[in-house]
A and B are shown apart, each in its own frame.
Chain A
Amino acid sequence: MKLYNGPQIIVGLVIFLAIFTYPLWSGAGKAAPVPKPQPVPKSVATQCVADTAYMRTSHMTLLNYWRDEVVRDGDRLYVSASGKTFNMSLSNTCFECHTSKVKFCDQCHNYLAISPFCWDCHLTPKEKK
């Protein structure tokens, strides 16, 4: 079997494969930096609405639950497992301590390449430069 225009085709294939696989080999051996959400200073608050491990994995479930309770039933106060009472509000409660969306929320969300649409409506505090 004869390959017509062999050299051009092979060179073309090599160039194509190099470009096509660029995302694979360019990042080989390098890990994306681990996200570092800004911790809340101890002077501002010492405990969140739930423990850190739970918030890390399930804050979205908790927020969905809060949303349903507030919008549907009008129950707006949340008594946490530690007995503290919170107003169930993303913009008004969460952002009182986590004052920067860029330094807190976006850290992990960008790392995991997810873009929740909470912020389409819920306002976040102005970012300090």
Chain B
Amino acid sequence: MGVDRRQFLKLAGISAAFGLGGSVGFQLLRPGALDAAERMPTPYQMVFPKSQGNSEVMPNPKALKGRRWGMVIDMRKLTVEKARAAIQACNYYHNVPTIPGKQNIKWIWLTGYTNAFPEVENPFADPAIKNARFIAMCNHCDNPPCVRVCPTKATFQREDGIVMMDMHRCIGCRFCMAGCPYGSRSFNFRDPRPFIKKEYPKYPTRTKGVVEKCTFCSERLAVGKLPACAEASGGAMVFGDVDDAGSELRQLLRSRYSIRRKPNLGTHPQVYYLV
């Protein structure tokens, strides 16, 4: 059976009219039936069906609140013993492994004056400063280069200034390690668990292939405790709100001269050393 030109044009016309009019027809007969976008459940509804609808999340009321967290390290008070105690406390509470060689993981560590402050190198500086052992850790910069380079937003800056890691999102590309001018980040080249002397059960370990660093003890701040290093340092490390002019931290900064690591890079580090 053949189709002549006349029949073909008629069919094509009817099909076109139906195709064009289809959605209009739906809107007339069943308004709203095609509005898929509006009918999609919100993420919140997807997580919580009706039975969980009236649940909610909130911060712990005991949590310490600050607009901009920072740390002051008093080099007159900081002895090597106090520093070691602080490092030990940090390593224990965060399951930081000790791996021999170049693959070690560092959250907080001891370093020399010229290593910590390369641009203020001075051969005739006060030996008490020049030969001191400085505590180095993540500076929780106001302008963190690690956050800028992270391709997955695994590292990000919280509203209170803490530069945080979301281990669930880290893909181990190590851009942040290249970005950080302080060497504050360590990569897990291998499973760290066999290298943890004593596991602290309340804090997770890390897994192979993620980068980690100091978090200013965000998990302790959330329950109203000071960072582990500040607590263990016997007053040599003072944690507080940089934005609060009345805080102990700001009073210390007013009372003595302080330096920061590599301020010329424009990262605005928030760890201050009283010298």
Residues of A participating in the B interface, judged by any CB pair closer than 8 Å: 50-51, 53-54, 58, 61-62, 65-67, 69, 71-81, 87-88, 91-92, 117, 120-123, 125
**Does B164 lie within 8 Å of A75, measured CB to CB?**
no
In the complex, chain A residues whose CB is within 8 Å of the CB of B223: 76
B207 touches A75 (CB 8 A): no
User: Which of B161-179 touch A at CB < 8 Å?
Assistant: 164, 166-168
Q: Assuming the A-B contacts A71-B164, A71-B166, are A77 and B205 also in contact, with contact meaning beta carbons closer than 8 angstroms in the complex? A: no
In the complex, B55 has a CB within 8 A of chain A? yes
Q: Tell whether B46 is near chain A: CB-to-CB under 8 Å.
A: yes
Q: Are B46 and A117 in contact (CB under 8 A)?
A: no
Contact with A along B137-151 (1 / 0, CB 8 A): 000000000000000
Whether B201 and A91, one on each chain, are in contact in the complex, defined by CB atoms closer than 8 angstroms, is: yes
The yes or no answer to B79 lying at the interface (CB within 8 A) is no
* Contact assessment for B201 and A77 in the assembled complex, using a CB-CB cutoff below 8 Å: no
**CB <8 Å contact, A81 and B51:** yes
Q: Which of chain A's residues has its CB closest to B209's CB?
A: A120
Instruction: Categorize the interface residue count of chain B.
Output: 20 to 34
Contact A74 B51 (CB under 8 A): no
Q: Which 6 A-B pairs have the closest CB atoms?
A: A120-B207, A121-B204, A75-B57, A65-B47, A122-B204, A71-B166
Which residue of A is nearest B43, CB measured? A65
Residues of A within 8 A of B85 (CB): none
Q: Out of A51, A54, A79, A92, which one reaches B202, CB within 8 Å?
A: A92
Q: Chain A's nearest CB lies how many Å from the CB of B4?
A: 53
Contact of B204 with A51 in the complex, beta carbons under 8 Å: no
- Which residues of A are found within 8 Å of B60, using beta-carbon distances? 76-77, 87
> Inter-chain contact count A-B, CB under 8 Å?
78
Q: Is the CB of A54 within 8 A of B52?
A: yes
Instruction: List residues of B (206-241) whose CB comes within 8 Å of A's CBs.
Output: 206-208, 218, 222-223
Question: Does B63 reach chain A (CB closer than 8 Å)?
Answer: yes
Q: Do B57 and A61 touch (CB < 8 A)?
A: no
In the complex, are the beta carbons of B47 and A62 less than 8 A apart? yes
A123 engages B57 (CB within 8 Å): no
10 A-B pairs within 8 Å (CB atoms) are namely A53-B51, A54-B49, A66-B57, A74-B59, A74-B158, A76-B223, A77-B57, A79-B57, A121-B167, A123-B95
Q: Does B127 contact A (CB under 8 A)?
A: no
Residues of B within 8 A of A54 (CB): 49, 51-52
> Are A61 and B59 in contact (CB-based, < 8 A)?
no
- A54 vs B60: C-alpha distance in the bound complex, in angstroms? 25
Contact partner of A74 (CB less than 8 A), chosen from B203, B207, B218, is: B218
Q: Say whether, besides A61-B46, A76-B60, A81 and B52 are in contact (CB < 8 Å).
A: yes
A92 to B200, CA, bound (A): 12
Contact of B201 among A53, A67, A71, A123 (CB under 8 A): A123
Cα A73 to Cα B53 with chains together (Å): 20
Query: B204: which of A53, A62, A123 is its contact (CB, 8 Å)?
Result: A123
Bound-complex Cα distance A123 to B192 (A): 13
Contacts of B206 on A, CB cut-off 8 Å?
A: 121
